[in-house]
C-alpha cells in the first residue's frame, strides 16, 4: 500500500488499536504525518472510553500523527479532522457526508434510502513527541458489510459503527445505525485511494490544526452540520436547539429559556424526526452551488 503524504507508514494485518500503536510510536519520535493502518482492530477505541471492533478488511482503520496548534481548545482539532474525513469520502465515493458533533460521519444508507447511517467516526488523542504535545487522529470508515453479519438492533448506538465486544461470535451483528460506503454507492471503494485522499485533506486543513476555526473551516462544517437548527438532547447541556459550532469547536445551543449554552463535550441525540430530512431535497441544502448534492 502506498499513501502519498505519509512520512512513514505501518500496515498491520491485525492490531488492537491504530491509535494505541501511533501513541507509542509518537513517544518514540515518529514524525508528523506518520500513519498506522490496520486491516483489523480488536480493541478499537471510541469516544468516552467505548470499545468497538473493526472487522477484517471491512473498512479503513487509520491513525495519523498531526502537529498540534500552538494553543487553543482540543475541539478545533476534532472539527478539522472531521471535515477532512468528510471531504475525503465525498471526493472518493461521491456521496454527501453529514457531520454530527462532536465526531460522527453520516451518509445516506443507500441510493434509494435517504435515512442516514453512521459511516465513521473520529477520535483525537494527545501524545508527547520530543517533549512537545502532538495529536493522534484516529479515523474509522466503514467500506463494506462484513460477510455473514446482518444489521440488527443496537444495545447502544453511541458505541460507533464497529462490532460490539459482547456481540462477537455467532450472534455478531453490526449496530443498527451503521452505514457502508459500498452499499451507499453501489460500487466498491478503494481503501488505498481513500487513505491517500484522507491524508492529503488532513495536510490541507490540519497542518497544524488552527487555534480557532477560521472562516473556511466554519463554512465547511456548516455545510455538513446535521444538528444545526434541530432540537437536541445533550448530556452536558439538557434539551435545546442546536445553533452550530463556534470557533472554539464547542456546540452552541439555546435552551427552553432562550439562553445560549456552549457545550464542550458529552453525547448529543437528535429529538423528533432526526436527520433523514436533512439529506436530499427534504432538508433545504445549505451548500453553495459548487457543493456536493445527492
Residues linked to residue 110 through DSSP beta bridges, in sequence order:
113
Same domain, 105 and 43: yes
Same domain, 116 and 204: yes
Q: At 277, phi and psi to the nearest 5?
A: -70, -10
Give 276's contacts (C-beta < 8 A, 6+ positions apart): 114, 115, 116, 282
Of 9-23, 68-82, 257-271, the range with the lowest mean pLDDT is: 68-82
Beta-strand pair 150-151/173-174? parallel
Three cell numbers, residue 160:
460507533
Same domain, 125 and 253: no
Three-state DSSP state, 59 = strand
Residue 71, pLDDT score: 77
- Residue 1: inside a domain, yes or no? no
Q: How many whole angstroms separate alpha carbon 168 and alpha carbon 291?
A: 40
Three cell numbers, residue 294:
445527492
Same domain, 231 and 196: no
Query: Who wins on pLDDT, 113 or 260?
Result: 260
Three-state DSSP state, 281 = helix
Q: How many whole angstroms separate alpha carbon 195 and alpha carbon 55?
A: 17
Give 149's contacts (C-beta < 8 A, 6+ positions apart): 55, 163, 172, 173, 174
Same domain, 264 and 154: no
Same domain, 154 and 56: yes
Query: Who wins on pLDDT, 219 or 267?
Result: 219
The DSSP result for 217-274, as a single string, is HHHHHHHHBSSTTSEEEETTTEEEEEEEE-TTS-EEEEETT--EEEE-SS-EEE-TT-
Q: What is the pLDDT of residues 252-264, one digit of tens each?
A: 999 989 999 999 8
Q: How many whole angstroms separate alpha carbon 88 and alpha carbon 86?
A: 5
The CB density around residue 11, as the number of other CB atoms within 10 Å, is: 14
Same domain, 278 and 204: no
Q: How many whole angstroms separate alpha carbon 36 and alpha carbon 12?
A: 8
Among the candidates 173, 201, 222, a domain finishes at 222
Same domain, 75 and 95: yes
Same domain, 212 and 256: no
Q: What is the pLDDT of residues 203-248, one digit of tens each?
A: 999 999 998 999 999 999 999 999 999 999 998 878 999 999 999 9
Residue 242, pLDDT score: 95
Range of the domain at 246: 227-282
Query: What is the CATH classification number for the domain harbouring 261?
Result: 2.30.30.100
Residue 52, pLDDT score: 57
Model confidence band, residue 149 (pLDDT cutoffs 50, 70, 90): low
Exposure letters 20-40 (e unless 16+ CB within 10 A, then b) = bbbbebbeeebebbbbbbbbb
Three cell numbers, residue 260:
445560549
Among the candidates 222, 243, 259, a domain finishes at 222
Residue 175, pLDDT score: 53
Of 39-43, 56-60, 145-149, 206-210, the range with the lowest mean pLDDT is: 145-149
C-alpha neighbours within 13 Å on the C-beta side of residue 110: 6
- Residue 293: inside a domain, yes or no? no
Contact 151, 53 (CB under 8 A): no
The DSSP result for 64-130, as a single string, is EEEPPPSSS-HHHHHHHHHHHHHHHHHHHH----EEETTTEEEEEEETTEEEEEEEEEEEEEEEEET
Same domain, 115 and 256: no
Residue 130, pLDDT score: 85
Among the candidates 222, 243, 266, a domain finishes at 222
Exposure letters 137-158 (e unless 16+ CB within 10 A, then b) = bbbbbbbbbbeeeeeeebeeeb
Same domain, 208 and 251: no
Domain count, the chain: 2
Amino acid at each position: 500500500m502506498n499513501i502519498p503524504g505519509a512520512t512513514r507508514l505501518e500496515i498491520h494485518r491485525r492490531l488492537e488499536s491504530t491509535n494505541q500503536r501511533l501513541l507509542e510510536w509518537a513517544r518514540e519520535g515518529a514524525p508528523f504525518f506518520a500513519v498506522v493502518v490496520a486491516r483489523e482492530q480488536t480493541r478499537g477505541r471510541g469516544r468516552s472510553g467505548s470499545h468497538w471492533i473493526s472487522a477484517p478488511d471491512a473498512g479503513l482503520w487509520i491513525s495519523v500523527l498531526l502537529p498540534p496548534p500552538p494553543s487553543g481548545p482540543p475541539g478545533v482539532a476534532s472539527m478539522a479532522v472531521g471535515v477532512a474525513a468528510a471531504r475525503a469520502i465525498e471526493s472518493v465515493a461521491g456521496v454527501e457526508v453529514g457531520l454530527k458533533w462532536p465526531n460522527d460521519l453520516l451518509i445516506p444508507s443507500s441510493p434509494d434510502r435517504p435515512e442516514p447511517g453512521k459511516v465513521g467516526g473520529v477520535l483525537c488523542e494527545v501524545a508527547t513527541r520530543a517533549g512537545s504535545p502532538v495529536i493522534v487522529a484516529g479515523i474509522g470508515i466503514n467500506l463494506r458489510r462484513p460477510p455473514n453479519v446482518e444489521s440488527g438492533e443496537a444495545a447502544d448506538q453511541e458505541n460507533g459503527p464497529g462490532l460490539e465486544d459482547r456481540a462477537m461470535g455467532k450472534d455478531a451483528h453490526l449496530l443498527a445505525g451503521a452505514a457502508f460506503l459500498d452499499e451507499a454507492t453501489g460500487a466498491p471503494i478503494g481503501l488505498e485511494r481513500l487513505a491517500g485522499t484522507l491524508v492529503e485533506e488532513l495536510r490541507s486543513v490540519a497542518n497544524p490544526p488552527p487555534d480557532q476555526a477560521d472562516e473556511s473551516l466554519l463554512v465547511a462544517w456548516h455545510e455538513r452540520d446535521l444538528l444545526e437548527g434541530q432540537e437536541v438532547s445533550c448530556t452536558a447541556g439538557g434539551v435545546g436547539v442546536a445553533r452550530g459550532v463556534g470557533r472554539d469547536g464547542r456546540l452552541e445551543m439555546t435552551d427552553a429559556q432562550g439562553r445560549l449554552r456552549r457545550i464542550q463535550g458529552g453525547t448529543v441525540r437528535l429529538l423528533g424526526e432526526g436527520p433523514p430530512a436533512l439529506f436530499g431535497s427534504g432538508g433545504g441544502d445549505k451548500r453553495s452551488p459548487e457543493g456536493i448534492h445527492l
